[in-house]
Amino acid sequence: MTEPIEQAHAEHLAATLKALADPARLRLLSLVASSADQEACVCDLIEPVGLSQPTVSHHLKVLTEAGFLSRSKRGTWAYYRLRPEALTGVADFLTV
Protein backbone atom coordinates (compact mmCIF):
# COMPACT_ATOMS: atom_id res chain seq x y z
CA MET A 1 0.00 0.00 0.00
CA THR A 2 1.53 3.27 -1.07
CA GLU A 3 -1.21 5.63 0.13
CA PRO A 4 -3.29 5.70 3.30
CA ILE A 5 -6.92 4.78 2.79
CA GLU A 6 -9.53 7.49 2.48
CA GLN A 7 -11.93 8.16 5.37
CA ALA A 8 -14.95 6.71 3.53
CA HIS A 9 -13.05 3.53 2.69
CA ALA A 10 -11.85 3.22 6.29
CA GLU A 11 -15.42 3.54 7.58
CA HIS A 12 -16.68 0.94 5.11
CA LEU A 13 -13.84 -1.45 5.95
CA ALA A 14 -14.41 -0.99 9.70
CA ALA A 15 -18.11 -1.85 9.30
CA THR A 16 -17.16 -4.88 7.22
CA LEU A 17 -14.63 -6.10 9.78
CA LYS A 18 -17.14 -5.49 12.58
CA ALA A 19 -19.55 -7.85 10.81
CA LEU A 20 -16.84 -10.53 10.88
CA ALA A 21 -15.86 -9.88 14.49
CA ASP A 22 -18.34 -12.33 15.96
CA PRO A 23 -17.68 -16.06 16.45
CA ALA A 24 -21.21 -17.06 15.40
CA ARG A 25 -20.97 -15.02 12.19
CA LEU A 26 -17.57 -16.47 11.35
CA ARG A 27 -18.99 -19.95 11.90
CA LEU A 28 -22.03 -19.21 9.73
CA LEU A 29 -19.83 -17.81 6.96
CA SER A 30 -17.67 -20.93 7.16
CA LEU A 31 -20.72 -23.20 7.01
CA VAL A 32 -22.08 -21.44 3.92
CA ALA A 33 -18.65 -21.44 2.26
CA SER A 34 -18.25 -25.18 2.82
CA SER A 35 -21.77 -26.05 1.62
CA ALA A 36 -22.51 -27.37 -1.87
CA ASP A 37 -22.28 -24.51 -4.38
CA GLN A 38 -21.37 -22.23 -1.43
CA GLU A 39 -25.08 -21.88 -0.66
CA ALA A 40 -27.12 -22.96 2.36
CA CYS A 41 -30.66 -22.75 3.65
CA VAL A 42 -31.11 -20.99 6.97
CA CYS A 43 -32.90 -24.17 8.08
CA ASP A 44 -29.60 -26.08 7.72
CA LEU A 45 -27.57 -23.54 9.68
CA ILE A 46 -29.52 -23.45 12.93
CA GLU A 47 -28.45 -26.76 14.44
CA PRO A 48 -24.69 -26.54 13.66
CA VAL A 49 -24.30 -23.19 15.43
CA GLY A 50 -26.65 -24.07 18.29
CA LEU A 51 -28.57 -20.80 18.18
CA SER A 52 -32.26 -20.05 17.72
CA GLN A 53 -33.64 -19.39 14.24
CA PRO A 54 -34.22 -15.66 14.92
CA THR A 55 -30.64 -15.26 16.17
CA VAL A 56 -29.20 -17.11 13.17
CA SER A 57 -31.34 -14.99 10.85
CA HIS A 58 -30.07 -11.82 12.53
CA HIS A 59 -26.44 -12.86 12.08
CA LEU A 60 -27.09 -13.79 8.44
CA LYS A 61 -28.70 -10.40 7.88
CA VAL A 62 -25.61 -8.65 9.25
CA LEU A 63 -23.36 -10.72 6.96
CA THR A 64 -25.64 -9.97 4.00
CA GLU A 65 -25.66 -6.23 4.70
CA ALA A 66 -21.86 -6.32 4.93
CA GLY A 67 -21.75 -7.90 1.47
CA PHE A 68 -20.43 -11.34 2.42
CA LEU A 69 -23.62 -13.20 1.52
CA SER A 70 -26.47 -12.80 -0.92
CA ARG A 71 -30.00 -13.91 -0.01
CA SER A 72 -32.78 -15.51 -2.03
CA LYS A 73 -36.17 -16.66 -0.84
CA ARG A 74 -37.55 -20.05 -1.91
CA GLY A 75 -40.92 -20.89 -0.46
CA THR A 76 -40.80 -20.24 3.26
CA TRP A 77 -37.01 -20.50 3.59
CA ALA A 78 -34.19 -18.09 2.85
CA TYR A 79 -31.05 -19.34 1.13
CA TYR A 80 -27.69 -17.66 1.53
CA ARG A 81 -24.87 -17.72 -0.99
CA LEU A 82 -21.27 -16.72 -0.39
CA ARG A 83 -20.00 -13.63 -2.24
CA PRO A 84 -16.27 -14.48 -2.48
CA GLU A 85 -15.39 -11.04 -3.88
CA ALA A 86 -16.25 -9.51 -0.50
CA LEU A 87 -13.78 -11.80 1.24
CA THR A 88 -11.17 -11.00 -1.38
CA GLY A 89 -11.55 -7.28 -0.70
CA VAL A 90 -10.91 -7.74 3.01
CA ALA A 91 -8.04 -10.17 2.38
CA ASP A 92 -6.40 -7.77 -0.06
CA PHE A 93 -6.41 -4.99 2.51
CA LEU A 94 -5.10 -7.20 5.31
CA THR A 95 -2.25 -8.67 3.26
CA VAL A 96 -0.77 -5.34 2.22
pLDDT digits (tens, 9 = 90+) for 7-27: 998 898 888 899 999 999 999
94: pLDDT strictly greater than 70: yes
Which range, of 36-50, 51-65, 80-94, averages the lowest pLDDT? 80-94
- Separation of alpha carbons 82 and 29, rounded Å: 8
- Residue burial 33-67, b: 16+ Cβ < 10 Å; e: rest: bebeeeebebeebbeebebeeeebbebbebbbebb
Q: Which class for 90: exposed (0-12), middle (13-18), buried (19 or more C-beta within 10 A)?
A: middle
Q: Which domains does the chain have, with CATH numbers?
A: 7-91 (1.10.10.10)
2: pLDDT strictly greater than 60: yes
Q: Between residues 9 and 61, which one has the greater pLDDT?
A: 61
- Give residue 72's pLDDT band: very low, low, confident or very high (50, 70, 90): very high
